Amino acid sequence: MSETFIQLIIRRPLMFDGAMGTTIYQKGVYINACYDELCLSRPALISEIHREYVAAGADVIETNTFGANRIKLAAFGLAEKTREINAKAVEIAKREARDTVVVAASCGPCLSGPGAFPNLPAPDMKEVEAAFEEQISALASAGADFILLETFTNIDELLLAAKIARSHDTTVMASISPAAFGQSSATEVIRRLDACADIDVVGINCHFGPAEMLAPAKEARAAATKPLVIMPNSGGPHEIGGRSLYLNSPEYFTEYAKKFIEIGVNGVGGCCGTTPAHIRIAAKTIHVMSGVKQHVAIVSAPAVDAAADAPSPIPFAEKSAFARKITSGNPVTSIEIIPPRGPDGIAPFIDKCKACQNAGIDAVNLPDGPRASARMSVIATAATMLKEGLSIEPIPHCCCRDRNLIGLQADIIGGVALGLKTWLFITGDPPKLGNYPDAAGVFDIDAIGAVSLAANLNRGLDAAAQPLGSRIPLAIGVGLNPVAVDLDREAERFHSKVEAGAEYAITQPIFDPDALLRFLDRIADSGDAIPVMIGIYPLLSAKNADFMNRYVPGVSVPGKILRRMEGCKDKESAISTGIDIARSIRTEIEAAGFKHFQVSAPLGRTDIALRVLE
């Protein structure tokens, strides 16, 4: 490869592969077999697994050598084949990597962790040192890109293995299991690894599922100065409604993979229970996240000399009825209604909009392919509202996921020509598991770039700063997440959006008013004072609350609200409770001086949203 592993992981987050043992078992190999030896007896099987992970989008694949040391192989009578197994494993992985994917030489513990044999005599440290030397030298000599020491629970053993790996002049990644945090905190353990000169990359893997791994990952990121990799198991049991459910779907795994990247982790992958299906969805998401995709075009408005004969932007208040009202200081309300799936749904959709209009609501917010779903075009939906003569203003979202730069510009200009004057620009959720798992995300630009594009259009310039002949009047809105995993990053991105030309913002649904108010104070102190509409979502049930908390990006539902919803005895009481919670949130935010609200219509129930705004 043209870049080394270290150069790659510093430049952008990497997607590691998933479990080798889990996948071998799924292909029909009994657990009493020596999985490492399959490199010799069934190389085609191991090649197939590597090939599946490469096709899934992994940037790094691991050799099938986790337990291929003399001590563990002895239990199968294979100690004398140690070097042969390790050399063959690297050969297989490198062949499938085809010089486009990094090959990590997996090396597990001798004394601790999965694969240890408690019924055998414990080896002394000289035996352990010799076993590591034999295995690591074979892996390094075979040409692996780096040595991955993983799933260790004894930090002294891990440091010994790292010292031996470094002696072979190779890059070393040292990954500890959370099982090691029983006597020492994650912070203490990671700091010790981070301080070791023999280690280039630190990591945490195994033992925990994605949700449980988030807290130690945050600790590790705060403690480590070196690149950090997190590789949780696919998922563990959760108590939901009195039942123990194992949340191990690729979507569940992917949502947390995103969160790991958001807190600054440099690489994510999967341990026990993860498969190519998990990596395929996670890789699609990770590779197109803002700041991760290698070539994301950020359009910036060209500098304009004040004395030059260049058009000035159209003042915000002159762009639309919505803009006039929100700048006047009067309260503004909006209902978010998802566009229909097909043309037969447009009549009921219009009826819902009429109900909102009759209730005095100012706007209808139209999500653009929410959660990467396919629905009627927001531009066509909004234009139909205007055609029906509705006075309530449509606010179409403009999502960067589905259009390239040329298509975005064309849709915006076309929408304005149809009468759509107020817009909300978002980056969008990457395609993931669902009806269209193989759909490609475009992401030529992100939300910041889209705002710059819109600001150019306001001045009569296209994305390349070429004159259009007239100014394009559109009010520019953006999303805001006051409970983001990384608040520093969210504040920085919001500042960039305002600098690019954002004129108002709508938050993600808020369930914690205190967190919202703290964040709004923070951005106000930074001078990013544009009107903000507060998003509110009336919950329908305990299941709905749990789904919002776990799977909807940018949403965090506090435990006290989850417990309150769990206490509802039937559907109607749950809906009433959800409305009461939403009203209480609105009242608390209003008491702090904020008066613009957008309420979501869950499952299209505009009647519920209107009750929140009564």
Q: Name the phi and psi angles at 56, rounded to 5.
A: -75, -15
Work out the pLDDT band at 549, boundaries 50, 70, 90.
confident
Of 329-338, 549-558, 593-602, minimum mean pLDDT range: 549-558
Work out the pLDDT band at 300, boundaries 50, 70, 90.
very low
Of 197-206, 484-493, 515-524, 555-564, minimum mean pLDDT range: 484-493
Task: Quote the percentage of the chain above a pLDDT of 70.
Answer: 90
Beta bridge partners of residue 172, listed in sequence order: 147
Work out the pLDDT band at 372, boundaries 50, 70, 90.
low
pTM value surpassing 0.75: no
Q: CA dist 213 to 110, 216, 224, 275, 424, Å?
A: 24, 6, 16, 18, 34
271 and 385 belong to one structural domain = no
Of 236-240, 398-402, 507-511, minimum mean pLDDT range: 236-240
Evaluate whether residue 370 is within a structural domain: yes
276 and 328 belong to one structural domain = no
Mean pLDDT of the region 383-407: 92
> What is the DSSP-derived secondary structure letter of residue 423?
E
Q: Please name which of 141, 136, 145, 197 lies closest in space to residue 171, comparing C-alpha atoms.
A: 145
Evaluate whether residue 304 is within a structural domain: no
Instruction: Please write the tens of the pLDDT for every residue from 473-518.
Output: 999 999 999 988 778 888 988 999 999 999 999 999 999 999 999 9
Instruction: Please write the tens of the pLDDT for every residue from 349-369.
Output: 999 999 999 999 999 999 997
Of 247-251, 413-417, 535-539, minimum mean pLDDT range: 247-251
Q: Name the phi and psi angles at 308, rounded to 5.
A: -75, 160
Mean pLDDT of the region 288-311: 48
Evaluate whether residue 107 is within a structural domain: yes
234 and 361 belong to one structural domain = no
Give the integer Cα–Cα distance in Å for 291 and 606: 36
235 and 367 belong to one structural domain = no
pLDDT value for 388: 95
Give the integer Cα–Cα distance in Å for 102 and 61: 6
Mean pLDDT of the region 431-445: 63
244 and 363 belong to one structural domain = no
Q: Is the pLDDT score of 54 beyond 90?
A: yes
Q: Name the phi and psi angles at 376, rounded to 5.
A: -60, 140
CATH number at residue 154: 3.20.20.330
Give the integer Cα–Cα distance in Å for 506 and 528: 14
Give the integer Cα–Cα distance in Å for 14 and 228: 10
240 and 282 belong to one structural domain = yes
Give the integer Cα–Cα distance in Å for 436 and 273: 24
Cα 114 from chain centroid (whole Å): 29
Of 1-10, 299-308, 314-323, 382-391, minimum mean pLDDT range: 299-308
DSSP code per residue over 111-153: SSSTT--TTSPPPPHHHHHHHHHHHHHHHHHTT-SEEEEEEES
Q: What is the 3-state secondary structure (H, E, C) of 571-591?
A: HHHHHHHHHHHHHHHHHHHHH
Q: Please name which of 300, 62, 318 lies closest in space to residue 175, comparing C-alpha atoms.
A: 62
Q: Is the pLDDT score of 196 beyond 70?
A: yes
Evaluate whether residue 294 is within a structural domain: no
Q: Is the pLDDT score of 289 beyond 80?
A: no
332 and 280 belong to one structural domain = no
pLDDT value for 329: 87
Residues 601, 578 contacting (CB under 8 angstroms): no
Evaluate whether residue 63 is within a structural domain: yes
Give the integer Cα–Cα distance in Å for 269 and 230: 6
Work out the pLDDT band at 296, boundaries 50, 70, 90.
very low
- Look up tokens 């959006």; give the residue: 497
pLDDT value for 303: 44
Collect all residues with Cβ–Cβ distance below 8 Å to 464 and sequence separation of at least 6.
Answer: none
Give the integer Cα–Cα distance in Å for 475 and 395: 10
273-276 contacts at long range (C-beta below 8 A, 24 or more positions apart): 273/19, 273/22, 273/233, 273/234, 273/235, 273/248, 274/18, 274/19, 274/22, 274/233, 274/234, 275/18, 275/19, 275/22, 275/23, 275/26, 275/234, 276/18, 276/23, 276/49, 276/52, 276/53, 276/55, 276/56
pLDDT value for 540: 96
Pairing of strands 237-240, 243-246: antiparallel
Q: Which of residues 269, 288, 307 is at a domain's end?
A: 288
Q: Which of residues 288, 311, 330 is at a domain's end?
A: 288
243 and 374 belong to one structural domain = no
Mean pLDDT over the full length of the chain: 89
pLDDT value for 449: 87
Q: Name the phi and psi angles at 120, rounded to 5.
A: -95, 155
Is the model more confident about 606 or about 311? Answer: 606
Instruction: Please write the tens of the pLDDT for every residue from 61-80.
Output: 999 999 999 999 999 999 99
Cα 447–449–452 angle (5° rounding)?
Answer: 110
Work out the pLDDT band at 306, boundaries 50, 70, 90.
very low
Work out the pLDDT band at 122, boundaries 50, 70, 90.
low
4-9 contacts at long range (C-beta below 8 A, 24 or more positions apart): 4/145, 4/171, 5/60, 5/102, 5/104, 5/145, 5/146, 5/171, 6/171, 6/200, 6/201, 6/227, 8/59, 8/102, 9/201, 9/227, 9/229, 9/266, 9/267
37 and 133 belong to one structural domain = yes
Structure tokens at 109: 């513990």
Of 204-208, 383-387, 527-531, minimum mean pLDDT range: 527-531
42 and 88 belong to one structural domain = yes
Q: Is the pLDDT score of 551 beyond 60?
A: yes
Residue span of the structural domain in which 47 resides: 5-288
242 and 348 belong to one structural domain = no
Evaluate whether residue 305 is within a structural domain: no
| Number of domains comprising the chain | 2
CATH number at residue 449: 3.20.20.220
Structure tokens at 482: 């006051």
Give the integer Cα–Cα distance in Å for 284 and 440: 8
**Exposed e or buried b per residue across 526-561, where buried means at least 16 C-beta atoms within 10 angstroms of its C-beta:** eebebbbbbbbbbbbbbebbbebbbebebbbbeeeb
pLDDT value for 184: 87
Evaluate whether residue 581 is within a structural domain: yes
Q: Tell which phi-psi region holds residue 434, choosing left (phi > 0), alpha (psi between -120 and 50) or beta.
A: left
Evaluate whether residue 302 is within a structural domain: no
pLDDT value for 354: 97
Structure tokens at 342: 């097909």
207 and 143 belong to one structural domain = yes
